[in-house]
Amino acid sequence: MSTGLFDTPEAPAADAECWTLRLYVAGQSPRSLRAVANLRRICAEDLDARYRLEVIDLYQQPELAQCDQVVALPALIKRLPEPLRSLVGDMSSSERVLVGLDLLRRAPP
């Protein structure tokens, strides 16, 4: 599958980059489960193992939410590379996730 991931001039250099991602979920709620599955798929297909993904269940670790200002779950935060980006939802659209995290240039309208 071709995503045009590295076609854009904004795309980070292919070698040195490593994405640090954090997914906040609410226990085993259906959208949380979907978000975990979708994000794992997107990472495997488009980030080619150059990523670090943490999944945080706020039921169990509510104190971890404060630094990321999370309000709605599930939510994805890209901490690195800068700048910080966030995305809310079940991550079912690969394109939205990639655009939202600066990994893909938004398609022209």
Alpha-carbon separation of residue 96 from 3, 36, 61, 62, 87 (angstroms): 12, 15, 27, 27, 9
Q: Which is nearer to other proteins, 44 or 72 (CB)?
A: 72
Shortest approach of other proteins to residue 98 CB, angstroms? 11
Cis peptide leading into residue 12 (ω within 30°): no
**Residues of this chain that bind other proteins (CB under 8 A):** 24, 26-33, 58-59, 62-63, 65-66, 69-75, 83-90, 92, 96, 99-100, 102
Nearer to other proteins, 39 or 70 (CB): 70
C-beta closer to other proteins: residue 33 or 49: 33
| Burial call 50-72: b when 16+ CB within 10 Å, e when fewer | ebeeebbbbeeeeeeeeeeebee
**Least distance (Å) between residue 13 CB and other proteins:** 18
